[in-house]
Amino acid sequence: MNNRIELIKDDITTLDVDAIVNAANQTLRGGGGVDGAIHRAAGRELLQACIGLEGCDTGYAKITPGFRLPAKYVIHTVGPVWRDGHHGEPELLRSCYTESLTLATIEKCTSVAFPNISTGVYRFPKEQAAAIAIETVRTYLQEEEFPQKVIFCCFDDENYEIYQELLSDL
């Protein structure tokens, strides 16, 4: 199992994988953070494709080509905005991972990279978000052959260290 999960610290837009996941907002029209970086690297065609998707609800995911990215696909998911943890935030975050993985399975993706959804602008506590991400991915991989590899792609040191710690306990 653990050889199907990898941890890296990198810019997700540079990864040569089948799919990268985008931490988008409900409009799917780009934004800051990882969303902005993905749109800049993929080019305007990505925005055109996203406009055609007509938005996405929190906890769900939609897929587009990767256009100028090395990745073949971008899976756009909308994480919850953290309020106090009692407004369904954990369940919605879990759903982001499951829905994204389901799209990856449908497209027979071999490798999928996730950013730390909701832990930036949306202020989800990083420790809790990492625990949910790891647990959800592990459970999913127990049931499914695809994707064969899931990469947690951290960008900030804090998230990277949290994942290192949690993954070393497995």
Q: Kindly list the catalytic residues.
A: 35
Q: Is 99 in the site for ligand AR6 (CB under 6 A)?
A: no
Q: Are 10 and 34 in contact (CB under 8 A)?
A: no
To ligand AR6, the closest distance from the beta carbon of 139 in angstroms equals: 21
Closest by CA to 99, choosing from 136, 153, 68, 125, is 136
Q: Is 136 in the site for ligand AR6 (CB under 6 A)?
A: no
* 3-state SS, residue 54: coil
| Distance, CA of 61 to chain centre | 10
Site string for ligand AR6, 50-89 (x = CB under 6 A): -----------------------------x----------
Q: Which of 35, 73, 74, 99 binds ligand AR6 (CB under 6 A)?
A: 35
Q: Is 31 in the site for ligand AR6 (CB under 6 A)?
A: yes
Q: Is 112 in the site for ligand AR6 (CB under 6 A)?
A: no
List CB contacts of 47: < 8 A, sequence separation 6 or more: 29, 30, 39
Tell me which residues touch ligand AR6 (CB under 6 A).
11-13, 23-25, 31-35, 37, 79, 115-122, 153, 155-156, 159
